[in-house]
Chain A
Amino acid sequence: MSWLSRAAARLVPAERRDWAEAVWAEADQVPAGLARLAWRAGGVRLMAREAMLARRATRTLVFAAAAAWVAGTAWPGSAGNPATALSRLDVVTMLPVLAGLPLLARWLVGPAAPGPLARVLRAGAYVAVLVLIVARASVDQVADNPAAVPHLNPDASVPALDGMIYAWLAQSVFLLIVAVYVAAILVLTARRPRVAPATLAVGTGAGLVLGAVMYAVAPLGLTSYATTPWLSGAALAPVLLLAWVLLFGAPAAAGSVAARCYRGPGDPRQLAKARLRQGGAAGFLATGIGALVVTVLGTGTIALMPRAGWALRWLYPGQHLLAAVTYNRELTASVRAGGYDLILLFFPVIGLLIGLAASTSAGQPGPPPDGDGLPGPESAPDPPDSGQLAA
């Protein structure tokens, strides 16, 4: 067996390696020529299938471990704190939803699109959502703590019933938004919607930039003014302006670039529709990922405040905060964290609309390019066996 086949067999899990080597060894018995080539091609197919199955099993195990961590971290809490029940609602609803959505997406829109970016995006979305559930549980424990009510509102003593109803409603909306985010990313990175790799790349890049800038402006929750402790006065204004520009400019640029880069079907009407789809997807990704990044980073930062001394030193370098001041800042930031829900809700809508509008600026489709430009993905059929073994 050649070094190449040995190297390829390493991709297969150890318990299956014998089989991969068996196909290769047997190839020497097959008459030389096309028959042997076909035999070896079958071996490559076998190795690819086994490697893929191993990846699927690994993904399942990793998700199960992550889900167990989320459940173990978000579940505990004081029985007297209404946030405990809300966090448990998050765990009970979101983990099954996260486990089931990929199966539903695979059934409805096919498996993940070829290429690493689609898988990275999916994995990133799952990591973000799992971290968000844990961070949110921690933040809610502080914000909804009955002992904190007098600090927030000296006239109140315990949370009123209508306040509780509002909290449950808000939590339900939050869960719905997060589920829609995951579903949208699963769909956009699936094979059947035919979102081009270039579209995914442009939208994701723009989203990461938007998210980073938004985090610089609002790392401690969202209010009508910037919550950044790092920037003030003259230093704040340009970053704030940049955030506003990016909110509208990032999806516009991403939508326009994605539409222009797309080289699809020759029929002008079909191409126009396909470009609209690419523009909308890129715009949605730009603001959606931006919203997810700022929400996860911001909520995570606020969650770390009461736990990690380094987080406070990082947020307020050179300041020696009194315990009461620290608590007050933690509490205020925890309450403001709810503002991120607005970002999660509205940013993707803004991005989708701007992306669709920007894609029309790609202009009427011209003659086919001379080989330059990024090609759109071909509408490859789903594998008939979807990785199932034949027996």
Chain B
Amino acid sequence: MGSRTEFSAQTLSVLAALCEQPSQWQHGYALARQTGLKSGTLYPILIRLADRGLVEACWQDEPAPGRPRRHLYRLTAAGLASATGALAAVAQPAVAQPAGRPGARLRGGRGVAAPVVP
């Protein structure tokens, strides 16, 4: 776990978004805005991460009046460790590579632009 090729670029972008405030629950739309992913891509990634025990999910306790309850997500301890390792592994070669090619060694077409590792 934690090798550079373990996660796709899109998955890394989700992990990076969740890493920004690892203790906070986040909802799907916020993650979609942060990562630029569409719902049809974002949720399968979240499902996969949850299946692997890297992300935990729960329903909002007190929804806003007139709004449905929202599904919330955050990294588990294992997820945080895994994400930190993976993002650090991606960040290091990105420095050594020519500018303008962040995440070029990742699988998938979308690179991760300088993920913030807490």
Contact = CB atoms under 8 A, between A and B. Distances in A.
A108 interface: no
A22 B43 contact: yes
Given A18-B57, A26-B39, A38-B38, A390 B44 contact: yes
A245 interface: no
Contacts of B41: 42, 390
B70 A29 contact: yes
B84 interface: no
A390 B69 contact: no
Contacts, number: 83
A43 interface: yes
A186 to B, nearest CB: 28
Main secondary structure of the interface of A (DSSP, over half): helix
Contact of A390 (B10, B29, B68, B70): B10
Given A16-B47, A19-B46, A25-B71, A391 B7 contact: yes
Nearest to A31: B29
Interface of A: 1, 16, 18-19, 21-26, 28-30, 38-46, 49-50, 389-391
Given A25-B70, A390-B10, A391-B49, A49 B29 contact: no
B38 A389 contact: no
B111 to A, nearest CB: 15
Interface of B: 7-8, 10-11, 27-29, 32, 38-49, 52, 57, 59, 67-71, 108
Main secondary structure of the interface of B (DSSP, over half): helix
27 contacts: A18-B57, A18-B59, A19-B43, A21-B71, A22-B70, A25-B69, A25-B71, A26-B27, A26-B28, A26-B39, A29-B27, A29-B29, A29-B67, A30-B29, A39-B29, A39-B39, A40-B39, A42-B39, A42-B42, A43-B39, A44-B40, A390-B11, A390-B41, A390-B44, A391-B7, A391-B10, A391-B52
A211 B32 CA distance: 56
A69 B28 CA distance: 45
Nearest to A48: B40
Nearest to B30: A29
A123 B11 CA distance: 36
A390 B45 contact: yes
B71 A26 contact: yes
A391 B45 contact: yes
A42 B27 contact: no
Contact of B71 (A18, A46, A391): A18
B50 to A, nearest CB: 8
Nearest to A27: B39
B39 A28 contact: no
Contacts of A30: 29
Q: 3 shortest A-B CB distances, which residue pairs?
A: A42-B39, A42-B40, A22-B71
Contacts of A16: 47
Given A25-B69, A42-B38, A390-B11, 9 more contacts: A19-B43, A26-B28, A26-B71, A39-B38, A41-B39, A43-B39, A43-B40, A390-B10, A390-B44
A391 B48 contact: yes
A32 B8 CA distance: 31
Contacts of A390: 8, 10-11, 41, 44-45, 48, 108
Contacts of B10: 390-391
A46 B37 CA distance: 13
